[in-house]
Chain A
């Protein structure tokens, strides 16, 4: 299977080169943030305040990892359901985040925002938390430590595997894949 190796952060050029169905291996820094952190970040945007970390051009991964065992960088760390972030994603993309990684369906507003702000939505294999954790080489809480597994973390990854679901052109792998394999 063909794979695109990508270093973070992302430029518009890299984003525009990605198409729904592409398999990607990310290396570099990505940021973990899920429900509670999104709520706080969007509240800051509404108040016109800066984020505790600058995420322009960056990649957000929707994950709430399991605790690390002694000797582990991070516990199991697979994606959580992305749909819950739909309420916040258009604002996050308008701010300048270039890619978001999770699993599952996005709503129309998010899909449109991906096109408007030149960004992509990717999925990592849901439930493969032990496997995905192996690609994470460093993990550090950089904001909201009080949120526990929902804190914002800076993750250094090497060949983190993900599949492009919604690209910046309006294509949708979930719809395409389903149509392709559906039987009467």
Chain B
């Protein structure tokens, strides 16, 4: 049994909020560079130029790359041999978000009630997913999620007879209908299998995987490639101005499902694909 004071969690989360919003991952930067070199549309090229410059300014000046600094989505892998002391675990995660968003000059984008729409003023509460795992460590992953791309996401309860084409059509159609709205080039997270709520979670989790890291199952790796090609044939292009780089990657996460169902979910992420990780 290892004892961990939740204060450590507060500090870690606060730092991660800033880090995720200021520093774009190298995998995404490399994808922008590839886009700049290979995009055939001149306006599309210009977009990649701006995105690279934007990421550089954000990094150098420690300012958020996008003004929508997102909903703080936290994935926690909590070792079963950890004993937490010093306070409430969930409150510690939220306190970290509160501090990070305030000290980091990040935008507070959360309203308390979907209809009344009064801002909570500190970007809490976070959306928290906890998984208990073996060991005595705590792994925290923060993935701030912007509203524009989240709004273009979709879920569909496909039936087993629809098979692979059913999935492919649903994914391509969802990205195609989103058009310019989610700030393309996008990253497409696909959940496949499980239940209604599990499949949405899988789609979100799929967005955590670094770009250029295909699914470990060769069948799904191939399917990811096929869907990416189809999406990039829509012509939407960077920012929807027309071009060949509509998506930078498609990631599929799969889970067993019921004999009667074949759920699928598409969670679209914008190019401002932000995450930060810490192991305590």
**1/0 per position for B169-185, CB-CB distance to A under 8 A?**
00000000001111100
User: Is the CB of B247 closer than 8 A to any CB of chain A?
Assistant: no
18 extra interface residue pairs, beta carbon distance < 8 Å, beyond A21-B43, A129-B54: A36-B117, A75-B64, A75-B107, A76-B65, A103-B148, A104-B179, A104-B240, A105-B180, A123-B180, A125-B50, A125-B51, A127-B272, A129-B67, A161-B50, A176-B242, A178-B236, A181-B237, A182-B235
For residue A148, which residues in chain B have a CB less than 8 angstroms away from its CB? 108, 119, 121
**1/0 per position for A1-18, CB-CB distance to B under 8 A?**
100000000000000000
Q: Please state if B65 and A181 are interface contacts (CB–CB under 8 Å).
A: no
With A78-B66, A181-B41 already in contact, the answer to whether A131 and B233 are too (CB < 8 A) is no
**1/0 per position for B100-115, CB-CB distance to A under 8 A?**
0000011111000000
> Which B residues fall within an 8 A CB radius of A?
40-43, 46-47, 50-51, 53-54, 57-58, 61, 63-69, 105-109, 117, 119, 121, 146-148, 151, 179-183, 233-237, 239-244, 270-272
Q: Please indicate which of the listed interface residues B67, B109, B179 has the most CB atoms of chain A within 10 Å of its own CB.
A: B67
Q: Please state if A103 and B239 are interface contacts (CB–CB under 8 Å).
A: yes
* Complex: A94 Cα to B148 Cα, angstroms: 27
How distant is B145 from chain A, measured CB to nearest CB, in Å? 13
Q: Please state if B181 and A103 are interface contacts (CB–CB under 8 Å).
A: yes
Contact of A128 among B50, B107, B119 (CB under 8 A): B50
Q: Please state if B180 and A127 are interface contacts (CB–CB under 8 Å).
A: no
Interface size on A, residues (CB 8 A): 47
For residue B180, which residues in chain A have a CB less than 8 angstroms away from its CB? 103-105, 123, 126, 174
Per DSSP, are chain B's interface residues mostly helix, strand or loop, or mixed?
Answer: loop
A-B contact pairs, 12 of them (CB 8 A): A69-B63, A72-B63, A75-B64, A103-B180, A130-B61, A130-B63, A163-B43, A174-B240, A178-B242, A180-B242, A181-B237, A182-B234
For residue B151, which residues in chain A have a CB less than 8 angstroms away from its CB? 81
For residue A89, which residues in chain B have a CB less than 8 angstroms away from its CB? none
A21 closest partner in B (C-beta): B43
B64 closest partner in A (C-beta): A76
For residue B105, which residues in chain A have a CB less than 8 angstroms away from its CB? 66-69, 75
For residue A92, which residues in chain B have a CB less than 8 angstroms away from its CB? none
How distant is A48 from chain B, measured CB to nearest CB, in Å? 26
For residue B183, which residues in chain A have a CB less than 8 angstroms away from its CB? 103, 126-127
* Complex: A63 Cα to B180 Cα, angstroms: 17
